[in-house]
Structure 1
Amino acid sequence: MGREITIPENPVSRFLFSSTRASWIWLIVRLYLGYQWLTAGWGKVTSDAWTGKNAGVAMKGFLQGAVNKSVEGADVTTWYASFLENFVIPNAKVLSFVVAYGELLVGLGLILGLLTGIAAFSGALMNVMFLFAGTLSTNPLLFILATWLVLAWKNAGWYGLDRWALPLLGTPWSKDIRKD
């Protein structure tokens, strides 16, 4: 094996994904995306059909609709419909809490700029699951924005709690950054 070659980053991606000067762009994206997740989560957390005495009812209805889409056509793939039928629907009561509070936590993490990359990744993962279930709505846009925030994890939370939290965790702004 040869020695490692480091390919230099182009100026645009360096600005967007590594420079604190671009953090204001990510602040706008973060706040928009965070608001979307926070309001969606709050609606579910305060809903009787998601987390109240009828927890899981709304989720079961949504999921049964997704399973029906797999039978009717190609909106939902058969493997995902099988996963929904065999795992998610039987556990809908518990998973409705996971979804509701997960959406709420993603929204809070993005708005506060705390563990922004992890919050954005978690939101993107939920968007993918909703897309697999045949629901378009705003999911493609939210997925794209979340993906960009994942790429910009180093500077996306600069105007937020990540500015202080990430150095405590050892990345990326620790005082002991070693250059190769």
Structure 2
Amino acid sequence: MDSIWLSGAQWLAVLRIGLGLWWLESWRHKDKKAWFRGSGITWAAGIAGNHRWSAVRVGFERVVEPRPKVMAYVVVYAELALGLGLIAGLLTPVALVGGLLLNLLYFVLMIHDWAEQGQNSMMALISVVAFFGMAWQSWSLDAALGWFR
């Protein structure tokens, strides 16, 4: 049964757009000059280097440390792409899965900092609900283009 104001698909679109705004805010509030100079990767290296799970340390050493500048750009522009994609509803399933993976990566990296885990957990949960609820069915470019039916 649909609610009085919006249909179920429209409420899922509200959730999708809200998640997109959250990613866009994550991108907006970053000090991009400092981030691109390496502050974000240096900060993450300190956390990964002392992480209780060796897989996190080894993964960071193999994937991120050899290419800190590229990884800094990947993180910043991934957040921007996720935000814009979810707000516009463009390639929504891809954005939801990508956002879920990025949140899980942040969650694992920051496992010792429970203050951050609420945000990552809620964003991951919204991604899962929006994906399985097919939140691209309403108010999206995907729906307008007939994609992902």
TM range (shorter): 0.7 to 0.9
Equivalent residue for 2:141, pick from 161, 167, 176: 161
Q: 2:78: which partner in 1?
A: 102
Q: How does 1:11-30 map to 2 (within 5 A)?
A: 21-30=7-16
Q: CA deviation at 1:157?
A: 4.1
Q: Retained in 1: the 8 A contact 2:9–2:137? A: yes
1:146 paired residue among 99, 105, 127:
127
Larger RCO (alpha carbons 8 Å, 6+ apart): 2
Structure 1 residue corresponding to 2:93, chosen from 117, 124, 138: 117
Q: CA deviation at 1:69?
A: 2.8
Distance 1:66 1:157, change over 3 A: farther
Tell me which of 25, 38, 50 is aligned to 1:68.
Answer: 50
**Which consecutive residues of structure 2, in runs of 5 or more, have no partner in the other structure?**
none
Q: Distance in 2 between matches of 1:87 and 1:24?
A: 39
Q: Structure 1, unaligned stretches of length 5 or more? A: 1-11, 71-76, 173-180
Contact 2:20 2:82 in 1 (8 A): yes
Native 8 Å contact 1:114 1:157 kept in 2: no
Which of these two proteins has the greater Rg computed from alpha carbons?
A: 1
Amino acid at match of 2:40: A
Q: Aligned-pair RMSD on alpha carbons?
A: 2.2
Report the equivalent of 2:54: 78
Q: Is the 8 A contact 1:23 1:157 kept in 2?
A: yes
Aligned length: 141
**Separation in 2 of the partners of 1:164 and 1:108?**
16
Partners of 2:45 and 2:124 in 1: CA distance: 20
Distance 2:61 2:39 in 1: 15
Q: CA deviation at 1:79?
A: 1.1
- Pick from 24, 41, 48: which aligns with 2:27? 41
The match for 2:35 among 40, 50, 72 is: 50
Per-residue deviation, residues 52-82 of structure 1 (Å, max 9, x unmatched): xx1x322221232232132xxxxxx211211
TM-score norm. by structure 1 comes to: 0.70
